[in-house]
Amino acid sequence: MNMGFPGCLLLPAGHPLGRSSAACAGAGKTKIPILLVWLWASMTGFPMTDSDIPELTQLRLVNSLNRCAGRVEVLHNQQWGTVCDDGWDITDAGVVCKQLGCGTALSAPRGARFGRGSDRVWLDEVNCAGTEAALSDCKTRPWGDNDCTHKEDAGVVCSDSGISEVAQIRLVNGSSRCAGRVEVLPNQQWGTVCDDNWDLQDAGVVCRQLGCGTALSAPGGARFGRGSDHIWLDEVHCAGTEVALSDCRAEPWGASNCDHGEDAGVVCSDAGISEVAQIRLANGPSRCAGRVEVLHNQQWGTVCDDGWDLQDAGVVCRQLGCGTALSAPGGARFGRGSDRIWLDDVNCTGTEAALSDCRARPWGVNNCTHGEDAGVVCSGASSDVRLIGGPHRCAGRVEVRLDGRWGTVCDDGWDLGDVAVVCRQLGCGKAMEALSGKVFGPGNESDPVLMLNVQCQGTEAALGSCPYMDPGDHCQHDEDAGARCQDAGISEVAQLRLVNSRSRCAGRVEVLHNQQWGTVCDDGWDLQDAGVICRQLGCGTALSAPRGARFGRGSDRIWLNNVNCAGTEVALSDCRIWLGGKNNCNHGEDAGVVCSDSDISEPAQLRLVNSRSRCAGRVEVLHNQQWGTVCDDSWDIQDALVVCRQLGCGTALSAPGRARFGRGSDRIWLDNVNCTGTEAALSDCRAQPWGVNNCNHGEDAGVVCSDAGISEVAQIRLANGPNHCAGRVEVLHNQQWGTVCDDSWDLQDAGVVCRQLGCGTALSALGGARFGRGSDRIWLANVNCRGTEVALSDCRTRPWGDNNCTHGEDAGVVCTDVRLVGGPHRCAGRVEVRLDGRWGTVCDDGWDLGDVAVVCRQLGCGPAMEALSRKVFGPGNESDPVLMMDVQCQGTEAALGSCPYMDPGDFCQHDEDAGARCKAADMRVSSSSSATGIPPHSPGTGLPAAGFALPDVRLVGGPHRCAGRVEVRLDGLWGTVCDDGWGLSDVAVVCRQLGCGPAMEALSGKVFGPGPKSEPVLMMDVQCQGTEAALGSCQYMDPGDLCQHDEDAGARCQGASSDVRLVDGPHRCAGRVEVRLDGRWGTVCDDGWDISDVAVVCRQLGCGPAMEALSGKGFRPGVKSDPVLMRNVQCQGTEAVLGSCPNTDPGDLCQHDKDAGARCKEPFALRLADGPGKCSGRLEVRYDGLWGTVCDSDWSDTNAQVVCRELRCGQAKPLAPKLQDWPRFRQGTGKIWLDNIRCKGTEETLQNCAHHFWGYHNCTHQKDISVICQDN
């Protein structure tokens, strides 16, 4: 017999103790009364008919099209049976709908409405109060006791069934029951609906009510013929969420000012009818501009320009996949047609999927001539701009075509944002220079100057979309603007192939140049480069970018080297490259690619062992069916980052070597691993051949990932210096600050400190208490860093506090290695860097805005404004060398020295010195000091460029300091961050910067409320790698006017401490409670342990609501060597961490037989439901233990890729261009958990993508998204 008493006792009719819902409602607080009942029943022998019934008896609705409607059946004694309809009513049906998660009850049909059952009739005379959680909680006769037959079987129709029990409705005069004229039946008489304000939302309600899928169109004008009876409804206005048309707002029944020529119609997705008439743009310069023509009755015809406007044109452009509408010319601008004029008085709202969905006169009815033929110019018509007079098609004088005339653009206000639009429109890569003053010669005298003061944001699809002025007589051709885009010097799309594998979508990369095939060198080769190749070849997405001649050595020329793709290029030839065979490579460095369509599985299996978490431990790889370790030679944080990403464990916190997690005992498989950090798997990184090494297991490499729940980074600060980037080194240990001894202190150690603090690189490593003597403990001595560690606490050192030093040996650091000289302030000037102890300049060959972005970030000078060349700020000193050439920064690096570059040798002189201009976050430095150049360290004048602190960050409006709206301070001003591009890697940086543990959620759409109107939006399109020390170190854009506070980004971190865990449970959200105090892990005594305490634990672990507070070693006792650390914990339930709750020291009062346990709701999961297999279907996610659906708002192919990868189902099949053509696998029921998901594509799990708060949406189940993966 079940002694757990999980629910209420169902006593038979006539039992002396009776049965009431009131007694059951308080069951959670009445364990003793229920126990007495059970003891009494045991002693008297009175039968308890429900003693073997689980809390929620299984239940189903059968024999209908939907699981939320049908004949009621219950499972008892392993046999399904029906429910008799005696006394069956809407209250009983409501309990059934609630139990099944099907919404509310619409009706409780009797008399076997859904057919007669054939098994037992289990229940009769059911009498629910309506508050019960399950049908088995309602009063009823004993199981099987009834006087019924199956013709009395009870049924239910729930609100989520899509079946209407209200006003009847039908579609008539169409080819299918799911298409036709809308008719409704009130007062036993059928009648029509007027098309005034009739739209797709109204049609959607009709389709759902009829079980006909979603609405394809909502035609008016008696498209399906005129009705003859009453016009029952007019001015229908549905929100789209109604169960039935009669639930929508409308004029009173029968009140209308319509005739039957305005009868409304509907075409639903299940009709099998294609409503979208074919369309084309004729007689224009491209397929995206021309005279509008539609196909009707197998004949093409034109559209009259009566009422023709930009909204109508927008529908045409979207239908054709030509971007947005630039103009809607009438008057036969693209010539007169010669066939029928099919449409007139077109009136689109702008939201239609096709022109044929817009309101218009009936086909062929018009009062027009072909002199009124309508036209359209879409943004995709990219032939309306060109570059003339330059060395290739991607550089030259800018010429545009307006109103059929070609002309030039005036250089007043012409800048790099305008050039970016031109380059994108022409498919020429990124913008390099905005040129003025007829650099490429003046335009033809006969051509006009057509544009002045062009003001592009840089994101427009075409130059014609940007605001501009008519120049009139203000500009002549001596002010013609020019542009230079990033042309590679190769033909627009060079021929390309992948060779030496079993698939055309995997192999060694070869390109055709000068009629000869050649290979690509793997210098700088990464997943972004591979992605461009896969896209160019139509092979899906890139799985890996193997290097080191993985697909064999080529034998011909090596054509390309230092390929640097942004990832958005159409072809490899659009990427930045070194061309023509000039390289320092051999065929042992031939690059390869594995694309998703190759059916090749590349990543070797991987695991982390010998720690308490799967996300930390000794690295082991599986090769030839045998596990083995990785040697720590060259092992660094970039290698660890690849491991963490491959395992879905977040970002890397540290890369410990020297067998930190114990010595392995099997083969040492890999040595000299060298990852760039962008690889999909460790096996994609360069390394010695498998099994070749000179290591022993004392050198086994380890990894600690952010999802391990291990805090690896000790806090650090620089004290008593001029700013936070220079001073005496102090570390926090056991809640006490202390210093570092200068024994063996060097520049590598200082470099780790500078990077940990977000202060760039180390300028000097000072000893001898240069910044004064400390007064507290000396914590560290004999520090020995390799220079690649994330934090000083990762370096080899003596044990904490073990030293033979005095405070006269306190170590110090000065950080920086770049400066701007000769400009008006410290944030503009000639770029100078220090390499190998020498200051020198940077050659302007290849110098661009991405490189400047790194310099500006490193100096704390805000966003990059200009990349300047030709000694704009004067030449460098003749005695100083030129140290860098062809710098190739991605823009996300922490320091200029981290970017790839070449040694200029004798190629560059000081007349090519590069310059930079930043936004100047801090203008308080005098021009004189920066003009003369500050020496690396001059005791009398202070320290250089170290005071450029990173922007502050805070989380506002949340439940605690580690969750809320993200706000940053730039230039002394607080403001918010736009959620465009906001993702979990960005949140990870915020959480680390605030000391709030791992990132839990990236939230969008002002979840924590909008920022104050008086505050600006300061950042947009933040692109953090996740490893940066501060948010200000990440690449971002100035939002200008593109974002408002309704797009403010939010963040939720796990909490200020990860010092709690649940052990020995079925998953990470259930188990024995263990806490860490003073560096020791131990258990919690169950004295006073309750659900409020569990609620804090669950919140701290990101596990959802608390379910149970368990006592008495429910999950096995703790380890004998571990202490019991807490007793009488008294949480309110609102605390952020368990350590914030009052508690007492248990002393000897508690042993491990009283260890407390906790059970939270199960963590996040996802599945594809109602499909043919696990890799296709309706997307459902589990949150708080409940499954729910995902809304299709903002859904993208990128989101689908993340889903398929998380389910290990290969790549996602691309979405159809139109929303109504996306796959659908029936509507879900119950909760809609997620909306407005925006994945970057790199996330390991969907929950890491930015999204609205859980359960926050404006959707119905009609918008449930489905996904089809290629492994379906």
Model confidence over 116-140: pLDDT tens digits? Answer: 888 899 999 999 988 888 898 899 9
Tokens of 1119: 């380890």
Q: What is the mean pLDDT of residues 1252-1258?
A: 73
Collapsing DSSP states into helix, strand and coil, what is residue 1197? helix
Pairing relation of β-strands 1080-1084 and 482-485?
A: unpaired
Q: What is the pLDDT of residue 758?
A: 56
Give the number of other CB atoms < 10 A from CB of residue 1207.
18
Q: What is the rounded distance in angstroms from the CA atom of residue 20 to the CA atom of residue 8?
A: 10
Residue 922 has pLDDT above 60, yes or no: no
Q: Please report where in the chains the tokens 């736009």 appear, as a residue.
A: 978
Least confident interval from 707-721, 856-870, 1082-1096: 707-721
Q: In a 10 Å sphere around its CB, with 0-12 CB exposed, 13-18 middle and 19+ buried, how is residue 1053 labelled?
A: buried
Q: What is the mean pLDDT of residues 147-151?
A: 88
Q: What is the rounded distance in angstroms from the CA atom of residue 161 to the CA atom of residue 184?
A: 20
* All residues at 6 or more sequence positions from 274 whose CB lies less than 8 Å from its CB, including other chains: none
Amino acid at 110: R
pLDDT in tens, 181-238: 999 887 678 899 999 889 888 888 888 778 777 777 788 888 788 888 889 899 898 8
Pairing relation of β-strands 395-402 and 385-389?
A: antiparallel
Q: What is the pLDDT of residue 301?
A: 93
Residue 811 has pLDDT above 90, yes or no: yes
pLDDT in tens, 635-690: 988 898 888 877 777 777 778 887 877 788 889 999 999 887 767 678 878 888 88
Which residue did the predictor score with more confidence, 7 or 771? 771
pLDDT in tens, 728-753: 999 888 778 899 999 989 888 888 88
Which residue did the predictor score with more confidence, 995 or 512? 512
For residue 246, CA distances in Å to 135, 192, 193, 267, 367 come to: 30, 13, 11, 19, 38
State the pLDDT confidence band at 264, using cuts at 50, 70 and 90.
very high
Angle at 255 between CA 251 and CA 256, to 5 degrees: 90
Q: What is the rounded distance in angstroms from the CA atom of residue 1225 to the CA atom of residue 1093?
A: 42
CB-CB contact of 152 with 86 (8 Å)? yes
Q: What is the pLDDT of residue 275?
A: 45
Q: What is the rounded distance in angstroms from the CA atom of residue 823 to the CA atom of residue 927?
A: 7
Residue 1039 has pLDDT above 80, yes or no: yes
pLDDT in tens, 333-351: 888 898 899 999 998 887 6
Helix or strand run (H / E) with residue 749? helix 747-756
Going by the DSSP 8-state scheme, the letter that residue 744 receives in this structure is T
CB-CB contact of 1232 with 1261 (8 Å)? yes
For the chain, give the percent of residues with pLDDT over 70: 82
Which residue did the predictor score with more confidence, 1007 or 435? 435
**Which of 847, 852, 819 is closest to 833 using CA atoms?**
819
Q: What is the rounded distance in angstroms from the CA atom of residue 233 to the CA atom of residue 251?
A: 6
Q: How many residues does the chain have?
A: 1272
Q: What is the mean pLDDT of residues 1189-1201?
A: 89
Residue 72 has pLDDT above 90, yes or no: yes
Task: Tell me the torsion sign for CA atoms 966, 969, 974, 976.
Answer: negative
Give the number of other CB atoms < 10 A from CB of residue 555.
9
Q: What is the rounded distance in angstroms from the CA atom of residue 1111 to the CA atom of residue 1153?
A: 9
Q: What is the pLDDT of residue 13?
A: 36
Q: What is the pLDDT of residue 11?
A: 37
Q: What is the rounded distance in angstroms from the CA atom of residue 1143 to the CA atom of residue 1034?
A: 41
Beta strands per DSSP E along 978-1045 = 999-1003, 1017-1023, 1035-1037
Residue 947 has pLDDT above 50, yes or no: no
Residue 8 has pLDDT above 50, yes or no: no
pTM attached to this predicted model: 0.27
Pairing relation of β-strands 777-780 and 736-740?
A: parallel
Tokens of 42: 């045991």
pLDDT in tens, 1040-1088: 888 888 889 988 876 544 478 888 887 778 889 998 876 678 999 998 8
State the pLDDT confidence band at 1190, using cuts at 50, 70 and 90.
very high
Residue 837 has pLDDT above 60, yes or no: no
Going by the DSSP 8-state scheme, the letter that residue 987 receives in this structure is H
Residue 82 has pLDDT above 90, yes or no: yes
State the pLDDT confidence band at 45, using cuts at 50, 70 and 90.
very low
Q: What is the mean pLDDT of residues 1126-1138?
A: 83
Least confident interval from 17-31, 547-561, 741-755: 17-31
Task: Tell me the torsion sign for CA atoms 1195, 1197, 1199, 1200.
Answer: positive
Least confident interval from 95-109, 641-655, 931-945, 1017-1031: 931-945
Q: What is the rounded distance in angstroms from the CA atom of residue 1047 to the CA atom of residue 1043?
A: 6
Q: What is the rounded distance in angstroms from the CA atom of residue 861 to the CA atom of residue 818?
A: 12
Q: What is the rounded distance in angstroms from the CA atom of residue 105 to the CA atom of residue 133?
A: 14
Q: What is the rounded distance in angstroms from the CA atom of residue 1174 to the CA atom of residue 1168?
A: 6
Least confident interval from 684-693, 886-895, 973-982: 886-895
Collapsing DSSP states into helix, strand and coil, what is residue 31? helix
Residue 374 has pLDDT above 50, yes or no: yes
Give the number of other CB atoms < 10 A from CB of residue 937.
15
CB-CB contact of 179 with 268 (8 Å)? yes
Which residue did the predictor score with more confidence, 494 or 1090? 1090
Q: What is the rounded distance in angstroms from the CA atom of residue 1054 to the CA atom of residue 1052?
A: 7
Which residue did the predictor score with more confidence, 621 or 1077? 621
Q: What is the pLDDT of residue 369?
A: 92
Residue 926 has pLDDT above 60, yes or no: no
State the pLDDT confidence band at 877, using cuts at 50, 70 and 90.
confident
Q: What is the mean pLDDT of residues 560-589?
A: 75
Most confident of 169-178, 372-381, 492-501: 169-178
CB-CB contact of 180 with 224 (8 Å)? yes
Query: Mean pLDDT of all residues in the chain?
Result: 78
Helix or strand run (H / E) with residue 333? none
Q: What is the pLDDT of residue 48?
A: 34
pLDDT in tens, 814-828: 776 788 887 777 778
Q: What is the rounded distance in angstroms from the CA atom of residue 99 to the CA atom of residue 132?
A: 9
Q: What is the pLDDT of residue 724?
A: 65
Report phi then psi at 119, rounded to 5: -100, -155
Largest distance between two CA atoms of the chain: 113
Q: What is the mean pLDDT of residues 1034-1039?
A: 82
For the chain, give the percent of residues with pLDDT over 90: 14
Tokens of 207: 């389709």
Which residue did the predictor score with more confidence, 380 or 1188? 1188
pLDDT in tens, 395-439: 889 998 776 678 999 998 898 889 988 887 776 777 888 888 777
| Dihedral, 98, 91, 110, 270 alpha carbons, nearest 10 | -40
State the pLDDT confidence band at 706, using cuts at 50, 70 and 90.
confident
